[in-house]
Amino acid sequence: MASLVSWNCRGLKTKISDLKDIINTYRPACIALQETHFKTTDNIKVKHYSVLNKNYDSDRASGGVALLIAKDIPSAPLQLNTSLQAIAARIHTISLITICSLYLPPNQQINQIDLNELVYQLPDPFILLGDFNGHSSIWGSSDSNSRGVQIEQLLTDHNLCILNSDQQTYFHQPTKTFHSIDLAICSPSIYPFFDLAIDNSLHNSDHFPLTLSDNRNNHFDSNRPERYVFAAANWTKFARLAAITTHMVENSSIDEAVYAVTRVMNDAANSAIPKAHNSGRKQNKPWWNQDCRMALNRQDKAWSVFRRYPTTSNLIAFKMARAEFRRIRRRSERASWINYISTITYSTSSYTPQGHTFFRCDGIHDPEVP
C-alpha cells in the first residue's frame, strides 16, 4: 500500500483504465497528477476520490495538474497565488500534511522567484510532487541542465529534502533512453518517514508513477474506520437500549450531560447495528477476464525485455504487445457492457442493483468512473 502516488499521465481522459489499475494496486490516500490535458469544460469524477484540478490556459488541451484525494481522508484545498501549474491541499492521514502537485514544462522559462513564492505558500510539513523536467546528479541524472540547477537552488535556499535517489522515472521514446525528472521534495521534518519507489509500468504514459509510503504505519489502509450498516439494524433493540432519562441532564453540567447521552447512543448503536469495514477505493473492473490477463502478461514481458535490451526491434515488439492488450481490453469492456445492458428492461426497477447503476449513468455527460 502507498500513502501517496505521483504520476505524469500525459492526458487523464485516455488513461482512466490505467488510473484504476494504479488505485487498485496502491489504494493511495492522495494522487498527484501532472499533464492532465483538461479543457475548461472537462469535468471528470473518480469513485471514492475528490478531484481538485488546475487547467492550463491554452488553445488546445495541454499541461494541467490535479490532486485526487480519497473521500475518507480529511482534507482542505489550499488557495495558491502563483502563475505556475500547481495545486495543493492539506490532508490528514497519520498526521496533517500539505501535498502539492507541480508541472514545470521543459521549454518554459521558470522564474526562481515563482518557485520560492510557491514554497512560501505551502504550510509545513509539505511534500512537493511533480514533473520538474530538471536534470542533476543529486537525483541520478548523468548530466545537468539549467532547470536542475534551479531545483538544486530551491533545495538549498529552503533547506528541503529530496526523496529520490537514482531511480529513472521517464522514458524518452525517440532516443530509447531513461531519465530522472519526476521528483518528490519534502520538508526535513518528515523526510525520515517516507520511502519512495517507482512503479515498474508506464501505464501507457511515458512517465512511471512514483509511490510514497509512510513508514510510520505500514498498514495505513487497514486502519480506515468502520461504518454502520443501517439497512441491517435492529431498530427495536436500538430504541430499547437508547434510553435517555431526565436524570442524565437535569442535575449535570453540559459536558457531563453530553457525555452521558453520547455514551448511551453509542452503546445502543454498537449493540443493535452491525458494522462493516470500509474496503473503499477499489475500482471495479467487471470486464477483466483471462484474455485480458494473458495480454497484459505479454505486454509486461515485452517491456521487461526492452528495459534490459533497449533495441529498436524490442521496442517494436513492446508496442505491438501494448496495442494487442489495448484491443483486447476494449473488446472485453464493450462485451461486458453489452451483456450488462441486456439485463435491463422497461420493467427494471431503480431499486434493483442493475437499475440503480443504470439510472445513475443515464443522462450524465461526465459520468463517475466506476
d(CA 340, CA 93): 37
* 91 within a domain of the structure (yes/no): yes
Cell triple for 14 = 485516455
* 368 within a domain of the structure (yes/no): no
Q: Are strands 177-179 and 161-162 parallel, antiparallel or unpaired?
A: unpaired
Same domain, 233 and 196: no
Name residue, grid cell 451483456: 339
DSSP readout, 30-95? Answer: EEEEE-----TT---EETTEEEEEE---SSSS---EEEEEETTS-EEEE----SSEEEEEEEESSS
Give the pLDDT of residue 85: 95
d(CA 224, CA 6): 22
Higher per-residue confidence, 369 vs 328: 328
> If you average pLDDT over each of 108-122, 229-243, 315-329, 355-369, which comes out highest?
108-122
Give the pLDDT of residue 67: 95
Find the mean pLDDT for residues 122-147.
Answer: 93
Domain ranges, residue 326 = 290-343
Same domain, 294 and 264: no
Instruction: Give start and end residues of each alpha helix (H) in the chain.
Output: 16-26, 112-120, 146-157, 235-241, 247-250, 254-272, 290-308, 312-341, 353-361
* Residue 292, pLDDT above cutoff 80: yes
Letter for the amino acid at 69? I
Find the mean pLDDT for residues 299-328.
Answer: 87
Same domain, 45 and 157: yes
Same domain, 159 and 235: no
> If you average pLDDT over each of 57-61, 90-94, 228-232, 254-258, which comes out highest?
90-94
pLDDT band for position 334 (50/70/90)?
Answer: confident
pLDDT band for position 369 (50/70/90)?
Answer: very low
Give the pLDDT of residue 190: 93
Judge contact between 97 and 125, C-beta under 8 A: yes
Find the mean pLDDT for residues 143-154.
Answer: 93
What is the overall mean pLDDT for the chain? 84
Q: Residue 79's domain is classified under what CATH number?
A: 3.60.10.10
Same domain, 53 and 82: yes
Give the pLDDT of residue 174: 87
* 174 within a domain of the structure (yes/no): yes
- The rounded radius of gyration (Å) of the Cα atoms in the chain is 24
Judge contact between 235 and 271, C-beta under 8 A: no
Give the pLDDT of residue 354: 53
Give the pLDDT of residue 79: 94
Find the mean pLDDT for residues 328-350.
Answer: 77
d(CA 362, CA 274): 33
Quick one: CA torsion of 343, 346, 349, 354, rounded to 10 degrees?
20
pLDDT band for position 219 (50/70/90)?
Answer: very low
Cell triple for 186 = 519534502
Find the mean pLDDT for residues 281-290.
Answer: 74
Q: Which of 19-23, 55-59, 100-104, 124-128 has the lowest mean pLDDT?
A: 55-59
Give the pLDDT of residue 284: 66
Give the pLDDT of residue 231: 81
Same domain, 201 and 265: no
pLDDT band for position 346 (50/70/90)?
Answer: low
* 269 within a domain of the structure (yes/no): yes
- Name every residue whose Cβ is closer than 8 Å to that of residue 72 and which is 6 or more positions away in sequence: 48, 224, 225, 278, 280
Find the mean pLDDT for residues 98-114.
Answer: 94
For residue 24, how many other CB atoms are within 10 A of its CB?
13
Comparing CA positions, the residue from 177, 178, 221, 175 lying closest to residue 4 is 221
* Residue 154, pLDDT above cutoff 80: yes
Letter for the amino acid at 80? L
Number of domain units in the chain? 3
Higher per-residue confidence, 340 vs 174: 174
Same domain, 317 and 239: no
* Residue 151, pLDDT above cutoff 90: yes
Find the mean pLDDT for residues 317-329.
Answer: 87
Give the pLDDT of residue 166: 84
* Residue 222, pLDDT above cutoff 50: no
